[in-house]
Amino acid sequence: MKIEGTVKPPGSAPTGEAREKRPASTTIASDANEKVELSSLSSSLNKAEAAMAAAPEIDRSRVDEIRQAISEGRFKVDANRIADGLIESVRQMLDAQK
C-alpha cells in the first residue's frame, strides 16, 4: 500500500481556496460605561514582574568564586544559617497572605 502525500494538516485551506485573513491585533472602541477586569493570573504576572525587577542581578564573580570553592572542597554549608533563612522566608510569605 502506497501512502500519498495528499493529507493536509488540520486548519489548512483546501486547494484553490484562500484562507480568511485575520488582523494581527484588534482594537475595540470602548464607551465610558464599559468596565475592564483583569484575571487573577494577570495580577499574579504583574507581581512576578515587579519581584523580578526588584531582585538583585547575579554577581558572576561571586558565583565563580563559590563554584571554585566547591570544586576545591573549601565551601562549608552552615545548616543553621540555611534553616534560619528558610524559616524567615516562610514567615514573610505567611505575613504577605494576611
- DSSP letter for each residue of 3-60: PPTTPPPTTPPPTT-PPPP--SS------TT------HHHHHHHHHHHHHHHSPPP-H
Model-wide pTM > 0.75: no
Where is pLDDT greater, at 82 or 56? 82
What tens digit of pLDDT does each residue of 7-37 get? 555 554 455 444 444 444 444 555 667 777 7
In the chain, domain spans: 60-98
Pick the range with the lowest mean pLDDT from 26-30, 59-63, 70-74: 26-30
CA–CA separation, 36 vs 26, rounded Å?
A: 16
Say what the pLDDT of residue 24 is: 45
- DSSP for residue 64: H
Say what the pLDDT of residue 6 is: 53
Instruction: Confirm if 80 and 86 have CB atoms less than 8 A apart.
Output: no
